[in-house]
Amino acid sequence: MIRVLGLGDNVVDKYMHILTMYPGGNALNFAVYAKMFGYESAYLGNFGDDKEAEHVYETISSLGLDVSRCRFLKGENGAAKVKIVDGDRVFLGSNKGGISNQHPLELTNMDKNYISGYDIVHTSIFSHIETQLPLIREAASFVSMDFSNYASSEYLKENCPYIDCACISCGEDMPEAEIRNQIEAILSYGCRHIVIATRGAKGAFVSVGGNVYKQSPCLVAARDTMGAGDSFITCFLVSYVDGIKYAVDFPENSREFGITTAEEYKDLTVRTSLYKAAVYSSRNCQKDGSFGFGKEF
């Protein structure tokens, strides 16, 4: 079974209408969701020294994530203000990542050795870790990065050569032609293998090995959409990367019953992983916060 590392941002999402804060953040969510699937999972990032940091750290420690390489700095942990409108999370503001923005991670050779022990390393545009991507690329066999909907063409050109998977948020109203153009551009910038374009209630487009797949959402009446995209991305990637290791072409004398080629198996793995991701994301929309564990503030 593969091992997963979330590298970079963590926050608390403060729900102002109920004065409750929930652990979250793109890189941290990836690690937590992978752990909830049963994979060995770790998180590496900076924490502040306030009550918000304490809540996030204690929560993920209780879930069994390896947090042995995390740093603790004096200052505010990342925090965002949120409200829920008809089940959809609406951001009201933030402290721009807090201490993780003010003092981004500086990785060491010991960190490099640690990173090399994981099969998927996931980070994000909110992790402020761009200068460390060359080291991460050297250490990791598979690197994914979430660009949300904030990345410019220049930013993508600078960072895509270091990653195997790019994740972007396209919104529900973006035309299909524009989404496909964005996917093609990201691949041309150097992203090596996968582009995941999520579209909220409109589903997702995913490019794998040059083939573009469309996945419908498993629509439900959402309680809270926080973490919907992160849960989709995590479920798809861990399912795909864990499954694709079995892809082989059968020898010629094996006959032709069932699936016998790596290409057929890869296609089935992509489609199955997308289905699982859509189902998991819909179920996650029934939870409060990214993955629960609310605490009054």
Strands of 220-267 (E only): list them. none
Which DSSP helix (H) or strand (E) runs through 3?
A: strand 3-7
Q: What is the C-alpha to C-alpha distance for residues 250 and 244, in angstroms, rounded to an integer? A: 15
* pLDDT for 256: 85
The pLDDT of 150-162, averaged and rounded, is: 97
Domain boundaries, the chain: 3-292
Distance of CA 20 to the CA centre of its chain: 24
Q: Across all residues in the chain, what is the average pLDDT?
A: 97
Nearest of 23, 33, 27 to residue 7 by alpha carbon: 27
Instruction: Kindly give, in sequence order, each residue whose CB lies less than 8 Å from that of residue 73, ignoring residues fewer than 6 positions away.
Output: 46, 47, 48, 49, 99, 103
* pLDDT for 176: 96
Sign of CA dihedral 249, 253, 259, 263: positive
Question: What percent of the chain lies above the pLDDT cut of 70?
Answer: 100
Beta bridge partners of 89: 84
Q: Is 42 helix (H, G, I), strand (E, B) or coil?
A: strand
pLDDT at 137 over 90: yes
Beta bridge partners of 196: 167, 206
CA dihedral 228, 229, 233, 234 (to 10 degrees): -40
Which DSSP helix (H) or strand (E) runs through 228?
A: helix 228-244
Structure confidence by residue, pLDDT tens digits, 28-63: 999 999 999 999 999 999 999 999 999 999 999 999
* Contact indicator for 76, 50 with CB cutoff of 8 Å: yes
| Entry pTM | 0.96
Q: What is the C-alpha to C-alpha distance for residues 201 and 210, in angstroms, rounded to an integer? A: 25
Question: What percent of the chain lies above the pLDDT cut of 90?
Answer: 96
Structure confidence by residue, pLDDT tens digits, 239-273: 999 999 999 999 989 988 999 999 999 999 999 99
**CATH placement of domain 3-292:** 3.40.1190.20
Structure confidence by residue, pLDDT tens digits, 170-197: 988 999 999 999 999 999 999 999 999 9
The pLDDT of 201-222, averaged and rounded, is: 96
Structure confidence by residue, pLDDT tens digits, 75-112: 999 999 999 998 889 999 999 999 999 999 999 999 99
